Amino acid sequence: GENVEQHPSTLSVQEGDSAVIKCTYSDSASNYFPWYKQELGKRPQLIIDIRSNVGEKKDQRIAVTLNKTAKHFSLHITETQPEDSAVYFCAASLGGNNRLAFGKGNQVVVIP
Amino acid sequence: DAGVIQSPRHEVTEMGQEVTLRCKPISGHNSLFWYRQTMMRGLELLIYFNNNVPIDDSGMPEDRFSAKMPNASFSTLKIQPSEPRDSAVYFCASGLAGGNEQFFGPGTRLTVL
């Protein structure tokens, strides 16, 4: 089955700096890669996603890049703000169905 | 749109009791997913439905867990009998079959004493 791993498990950045979280997956048939943000005590919220026919996607301060050959994709957050502090989960679709395999999450701490 | 609705938001029960968690997916969505989240195991998919039909229940931990989706706007996850190790946050998510996006409900925090 699909194995999704995230690195690093915890990331601390100074406010205003950039944060990058990397995710690797194992199933070459995966074609959809979302990122979710979960604040303490809240639900995971979809913040950005990318499909396998695209290499990069941006939405304001966040972007996702995909390298299908190497089977990894990354979340980039620029000009970080305290409200970006949360746990970020990556996921990858499983083969041809609409299941998602989730990583264990990255704790991002933005230091004011 | 109200988003995915779950009830109750918090449940505290004693070991051996039956627990029923409820979910209303986003109107128009025809895929529904039940997840369990713990610190140790992260987000685990328990079961999912497409068009009210269970497609994959391989994540259901034991026979004590069962899920139903009697119609397009309602699903239940039942644990009978409950055990302390079932304590977790249970999320319901919905999406479109054939699509990939999943939208999560607020979750039910279950504590089994």
Whether pLDDT at A44 is above 80:
yes
Write the burial class of residue B22 (CB in 10 Å: 0-12 exposed, 13-18 middle, 19+ buried): middle
pLDDT at B1: 59
Chain B closest-CA separation from residue A10 CA (Å): 14
pLDDT at B72: 94
Helix (H, G, I), strand (E, B) or coil at A69: coil
Whether pLDDT at A96 is above 70:
no
Q: Which residues of A touch B (CB under 8 A)?
A: 32, 34, 36, 42-46, 49, 89, 93, 97-100, 102-105
**pLDDT band, very low/low/confident/very high, at A14 (cuts 50, 70, 90):** very high
pLDDT at A100: 92
Arithmetic mean of pLDDT, A47-70: 93
Whether pLDDT at A97 is above 90:
no
pLDDT in tens, B32-61: 999 999 988 889 999 999 999 999 898 998
**pLDDT band, very low/low/confident/very high, at B112 (cuts 50, 70, 90):** very high
Which residues in chain A have Cβ-Cβ distances shorter than 8 Å to B102? 34, 46, 98, 100
Q: Which residue has the tokens 């999704």?
A: A4
Residue of A7 and B86 predicted with greater confidence: B86
- Optimal mutation site among B43, B49, B94, B96, interface A, most CBs of chain A within 10 A: B43
Between CA A67 and CA A43 the distance in angstroms is: 28
Chain B's closest residue to A42, CA to CA, is B106
Q: Sheet harboring A5-7: ordered strands across?
A: A5-7, A19-24, A72-77, A62-67, A56-59
CB contact under 8 A, B42 and A42: no
- From residue B108, alpha-carbon distances to A64, B8, B79 in Å are 30, 6, 13
Whether pLDDT at B98 is above 80:
no
| DSSP assignment letter at A95 | T
What's CA A54's distance to the chain center, in Å? 15
DSSP string, B25-77: PPTT--EEEEEEEETTTEEEEEEEEETTEEEE-TT--STTEEEEEEETTEEEE
> Does residue B31 belong to the interface with chain A, where contact is any CB pair within 8 Å?
yes
A103 and A8 Cβ atoms separated by less than 8 Å = no
